[in-house]
Amino acid sequence: MARSVQSPQPAEPDSLEGDAVSTRFRLRVIGKYESQGKHEPQITVNLSSGDGDHFVHSGTFTMSESEWTTLIGALEAGIPGDVEVEDARHLLSEVEMPEGRSTIKRTA
């Protein structure tokens, strides 16, 4: 007999009224690589998430420049103020960023 599986419900917002802590996401650009042929360059990023000053490494991924632009645009539209991009090596200087992107943290 087949069982029906219910999709999980969206999570409730993680900050309670009066609570100043919310989950944030930090994307640290660690590499930009040229692709062979006529493919676009690839960007490699470390993802961390956490609250306050405590972040935990969540994974590393690589994607094309256009995929990067789409991802950052979607994250900032969905969770404005909770997405931080670090580009210490200035690898994104020539990458088109989503319209309205206010800050890329360029740490040393």
- Amino acid 18: pLDDT: 43
Domains of the chain as residue ranges with CATH: 24-86 (3.10.20)
More reliable by pLDDT, 65 or 18:
65
More reliable by pLDDT, 84 or 12:
84
* Residues 44, 5: Cα–Cα separation, whole Å: 35
Q: How confident is the model at residue 55 (pLDDT cuts 50, 70, 90)?
A: very high
Residue 37 has pLDDT above 70, yes or no: yes
More reliable by pLDDT, 64 or 95:
64
The edge-to-edge listing of strands for the beta sheet with 42-51 is: 54-64, 42-51, 24-33, 83-86
Residue 1 has pLDDT above 80, yes or no: no
- Mean model confidence pLDDT for the chain: 78
Report which secondary-structure segment, H or E, holds 9.
Answer: none
* Residues 54, 33: Cα–Cα separation, whole Å: 30
